[in-house]
Amino acid sequence: MTLEEMTPGVARLRTLIANIYLVGSPGGPWVLVDTGAPGNAGRIRNAAEQRFGRDARPEAILLTHGHRDHSGSALELADYWDVDIYAHRLERPFLSGKSAYPPKDPMAGGAFSFLSRFFPASTIHLGDRLRDLPEGGEVPGLVGWRWHFTPGHAPGHVAFFQRYESVLLAGDACITMDLDSAMGMITQEPRISRPPAPFTYDWDQAHRSVELLADLRPLAIGAGHGEPMFGPAVAAGLADLARDFPRPRRGRYATEPARADETGVTYVPPPVDDPAPKIAAAVGLAAMALGAVIALSKKTESKKTEARSQKSE
């Protein structure tokens, strides 16, 4: 887990699941964008000391959205540094114990959707450390950066953009690896791709958010998942994704989104039939039946032997 400088003003810390960004130049004020899953606080503190010195303390912690792999270590760090945590006001219900996110959709297609069945669906409670991002787009603790509202993957998802270095921190509005193919997950080859499908509840919004990010024409992108990318490939990749946005053909949110407001989730479409548990149950039943047949045949066999040995006596 190493800290890499992405641009002079942005460093990335890669964790097992999600990326974390330390934004600001050494010697000046800085903020933390996203915090990884629970258990990363120590590593983040070490990385911050490495880049900003022994008494490193950010101006604020910012969250692109509240999914556990981005908000998991936020509270521990906020308490340690005594700083506030900022997220969009529409993420508040999911970061204050008021609402769960819309249920995940393992039927949205692709390798990661299939695997998502095994991921826990718990939310994080940030208590009174949580603040709403200021309306209007300014970013607490940073000059020259703006936040952009990019919902679809999460109701209050935001991305952060700095025009001077033309650098975009996209969160999960789009990512730089292909989670839909098993190969993409293993090799992590850089590629601008749709948001993680099983946790995306509104594909129209998700598409519009990618269009908005494409319009920024960034020269560098750091997303929640995947390697940072640089140069003309970034704007081109975003434009391609915006033009040919791969909506899922099936799944719970394929035709109708979930809805949410400042109180949390207000509507979810009915679940679609998921054959995987049925297949697993059928395989289990078949195995049990086979076991019973084997046990029964063994019993008959031993009875026969018993009868034979009684005969011979």
- CA dist., res. 171 & res. 63, Å (int): 9
Q: Which is nearer to Zn ion, 52 or 170 (CB)?
A: 170
Q: In the complex, what is the shortest distance from the CB of residue 213 to Zn ion, in angstroms, rounded to a whole number?
A: 15
CB atoms within 10 A of CB 39: 12
Q: Which is nearer to Zn ion, 59 or 172 (CB)?
A: 172
Q: What long-range pairs does 192-195 form, CB within 8 A, spacing at least 24?
A: 192/221, 192/229, 192/234, 192/237, 192/238, 192/240, 192/241, 193/226, 193/241, 194/241, 194/245, 194/246, 195/152, 195/153
Q: In the complex, what is the shortest distance from the CB of residue 6 to Zn ion, in angstroms, rounded to a whole number?
A: 18
- Give the helix/strand (H/E) hosting 134: none
Q: Judge whether 267 and 155 are in contact, CB under 8 Å.
A: no
Q: Which is nearer to Zn ion, 52 or 151 (CB)?
A: 151
- CA dist., res. 219 & res. 297, Å (int): 70
Residue nearest to Zn ion according to CB distances in the complex: 67
Q: Which is nearer to Zn ion, 36 or 59 (CB)?
A: 36
* Helix, strand, coil percent values for the chain (each to nearest 5): 35, 20, 45
- CA dist., res. 88 & res. 124, Å (int): 15
Q: In the complex, what is the shortest distance from the CB of residue 150 to Zn ion, in angstroms, rounded to a whole number?
A: 11
Q: In the complex, what is the shortest distance from the CB of residue 70 to Zn ion, in angstroms, rounded to a whole number?
A: 6
Q: In the complex, what is the shortest distance from the CB of residue 195 to Zn ion, in angstroms, rounded to a whole number?
A: 7
Q: Which is nearer to Zn ion, 52 or 92 (CB)?
A: 92
Residues that bind Zn ion (CB under 5 A): 18, 67, 69, 172, 224
- CA dist., res. 96 & res. 37, Å (int): 17
User: Residue holding tokens 């297949």?
Assistant: 279
Q: In the complex, what is the shortest distance from the CB of residue 118 to Zn ion, in angstroms, rounded to a whole number?
A: 16
Q: Which is nearer to Zn ion, 102 or 109 (CB)?
A: 102
